[in-house]
Chains A and B, each alone.
Chain A
Amino acid sequence: MSEIANTIFSPETAARFDHLVTIYPLKRSALVPMLLYAQDEIGYISDAVIAEIAQRIDLLELDVRNVLSYYSMLRTKPAGKYNVQVCTNISCMLRGGYEILDHCKHKLGIGHKGTTPDGVFSLEEVECIGACCWAPAIQINYDFHDDLTTEKVDVLFQMYRDGLSPNTTGKDVK
């Protein structure tokens, strides 16, 4: 049974999930996308999310936990409204990725996987995000920001803080 009576998701997301389980040869294929979309809406993968997704896909909750703990983008604790993901992998490192990370830490006053007290920003050091030729690069939620300098980071943070998400790479989905 994929349609859930008391869903914890918005009607749009619930409808999307109702559809998602129908498109694959096996509905379990919907699991990874569903977890990611659920996180986009709820902010993290809560126990309630696990329970509902398990029910939608006819899986044990343990199965869902096994899978979600494998993928590094999925988290079981809330993050900030804007999750700043700084790439420090080789190409970014060569072009100042660690300076950007240090700057973010200093500017936001938080460390890796930390969240600012106001809940606006969280910070994460991440592995290669596929922006090597435009390094150093970060992602804020799903938005890429590349060819960065510490000054550009300051501007970005201010814009996010002001609610003007600088839509460089398409609509922010969060």
Chain B
Amino acid sequence: MPSLVSHPDEVKVVSRRFGMGATDIDKYVELDGYKAVQQAIAKGPEWIITEMKASGLRGRGGAGFPTGMKWSFVPKQSEKPKYVLVNGDESEPGTCKDHVLFLHDPHAVIEGTMIAGLAIGSKLGFIYLRGEYRYLLKIVERAVADAYAKGFLGKNIFGTGVDFDIITQTGAGAYEVGEESALMESLEGKRGVPRIKPPFPAVVGLYGGPTVINNAETIANAPHILLMGGEAYAKLGSERNGGTRLFGISGHVERPGVYELPMGYNLKRAIYEVAGGIKDGKKLKAVVPGGSSCPVMTADEIDVGLDFDQMGKAGTMLGSGGIVVLDESVSIVEFALRTIAFYQHESCGWCIPCREGTDWIKKTLTRVYNGGGNKKDVDNVQYLAENMLGRTFCPLGDAAAMPTIAFVKKFRKEFEDYVEGHKAGTPIITVEQLVGAH
């Protein structure tokens, strides 16, 4: 069982009920559960969207799009039914925050889904979990069943005359399905290949109906925001970055774990204070700040606030909140190879630059890693990544290109030394280990 951690700097909003037995519906209700949704029913969609906008909540999946605005894009009138789709296909390497959320507070996701439904005029929500999270799916399914049993879901919820249903869904292993349009494809029983945009899901989404798609953490924030008020939530965070966020700190730190910190919290402090500093007293080499697709930061770049804007300014991204910490022992060549190997494995294959680009970068880095590379290969890797960037069908191409470019640019000397020094060197891990797997 993933262990819970805590730190005094944490501001617990969405993690408020973690470890308190809130998977039990009665306990959840006791802890102010299902209050927000009843208020939402009473006060109506305008109020919900106003509060959500005021909260400054931005999408916790990684793109950081303002949630209230997203909900307001859904047309009021629609011939086709509208849907809420909760993205629990958490697959970005370094990210395990939704894992903890589903484990400890599934009802918050359910309640948030209902609130989103009320806001846009939908009567059906889907909660999609990645296939590997089977035990969490069971927890969510149990919670949904309990909510139905209480009359919180189904026809005439809370006796208000409002209907709302939730269907839980499992994936079967595909990172790409985390992309919202690929998620819809998967939910419609198809290959998880993204759709052409526009039209955007808010207009033409699931089954052709207007659809709001939110990350599970984003959705779970909604009940808290309605209860505490949008403005109060906004104040917890930094400018244009309302509230708090679950940050998963992993890798070479003393106390890895999922911490809820205010938006704008200093990254360096998060690593050295909250997560207890670098493991075994080693030196920090680099940080991948928001899941594997974020450009790597060197040790001297990390004195920056953890919000979408400050991280953007620092030349990287806040991403999914998965902070991966690398100590001095890490070979960036190996780390870059492992990163691109992931994207190569997960590329859906639809478009040429991503399908072929990730494959060639992986092949080239594999050769470099095994001692068969030269300086030209380092240039080629950068050329390939730069020609992938911005040219692919969906963001996966960028997600593979951005970290690759950053690794090569920021650690160019290490790459060059590596090709020089490893002409006949012994790799730390074998090729078969790294790439034979895929």
Contact = CB atoms under 8 A, between A and B. Distances in A.
Direct contact of A and B (CB under 8 A): yes
B135 A32 contact: no
A169 B138 CA distance: 11
Contacts of B189: 26, 28-32, 57, 67
Given A90-B288, A134-B2, A70 B342 contact: no
Given A29-B189, A98-B429, A142 B258 contact: no
Contact of B322 (A25, A28, A132): A132
A159 interface: no
Interface stretch (B126-134, B145-153, B412-420): B126-134
A28 B188 contact: yes
Nearest to A125: B437
A130 B91 contact: yes
Contacts of B252: 94-95
Contact of A131 (B99, B167, B191, B326): B99
Contacts of A144: 2, 135
Given A71-B173, A93-B338, A170-B139, A133 B207 contact: no
Interface in B421-437: 429, 432-433, 436-437
A112 B345 CA distance: 15
Contacts of B93: 89-91, 127-128, 132
Contacts of A90: 93-94, 251, 288, 292, 324, 335, 338-339, 342
Nearest to A59: B189
Given A71-B174, A128-B92, A132-B324, A24 B167 contact: yes
Nearest to A30: B189
Interface string A108-132: 0001100000000000010111111
A72 B191 contact: no
B383 to A, nearest CB: 24
A102 B433 contact: yes
A98 B94 CA distance: 16
A79 to B, nearest CB: 13
Interface extent on B, as a size class? 35 or more
Contacts of B96: 130-134
B257 interface: yes
A33 B170 contact: yes
Interface-central residue, B98, B190, B292, B325, by most chain A CB under 10 Å = B190
A71 B131 contact: yes
Contacts of A168: 1
Interface string A67-83: 10011111000000000
A48 B91 CA distance: 31
A130 B256 contact: no
B187 interface: yes
Interface-central residue, A23, A35, A72, A102, by most chain B CB under 10 Å = A72
